[in-house]
Amino acid sequence: MKKVTLHDKTFALSIPYSDIQQAIEKIAAQINKDTVGETPIFVCLLNGAFMFAADLLKLIEMPAEVSFIKYSSYAGTQSVGEVSELIGLNTDLKGRTVIVIEDIIDTGLTINKLLKDLQPKELKRVKIATLLFKPEAFKGDYVIDYVGMSIPNDFIVGYGLDYNELGRNLKDIYTLVQ
């Protein structure tokens, strides 16, 4: 099994790029079907979702805008349970269909905060697309419209996801070796 070491921890290959691509193709097909005739604005959550956004957007068929937002909730391998806005949305979203692009939904707090921040903006509708979902950790009470893969409650890196900023550039996803 292929392994990588980042800082003080070792991770083993768990989701190869081919599986990631398959999950993204499935999400893109659903979005293309659900958004016919609209011009959605995709909002990518930085930093983690940049690779997923890049691959997903290439498969989107309708005219679309892309914007970026940055929140922070992780320190090391544990969610710190608080989300602070770092870079806000400055695009006018009134009457727009917004599709949020997230790398992974864990506790769900980040998306919860984003949904609250979007509330006063009078959107037409908002949809959530996440590549990965940890159902065992999820505490949110909203619907996640598009899920690439549900995964166990383990800490992972790669394909945009980091361990203290390392690992984002890995093409495949790796799981922390206990």
Binding site for ligand IMP (CB under 6 A): 45, 48, 73-74, 79, 102-110, 155-157, 161-162
15 binds, among ligand IMP, Mg ion, none (CB under 5 to 8 A by kind): none
The one catalytic residue in 106, 154, 162, 172 is 106
Nearer to Mg ion among residue 48 and residue 108 (C-beta): 48
19 is annotated as an active-site residue: no
In angstroms, the Cα distances linking 107 to 140, 145, 160, 165 are 7, 16, 18, 20
Beta bridge partners of 44: 68, 101
What does the binding site for Mg ion look like in residue numbers (CB under 5 A)? 48, 103
Which region holds residue 161: left if phi is over 0, alpha if psi is between -120 and 50, else beta?
A: beta
Nearer to ligand IMP, 30 or 79 (CB): 79
The radius of gyration of the chain from alpha carbons, rounded to an integer in Å, stands at: 16
Nearer to ligand IMP, 35 or 110 (CB): 110
Q: Which residues are catalytic?
A: 106
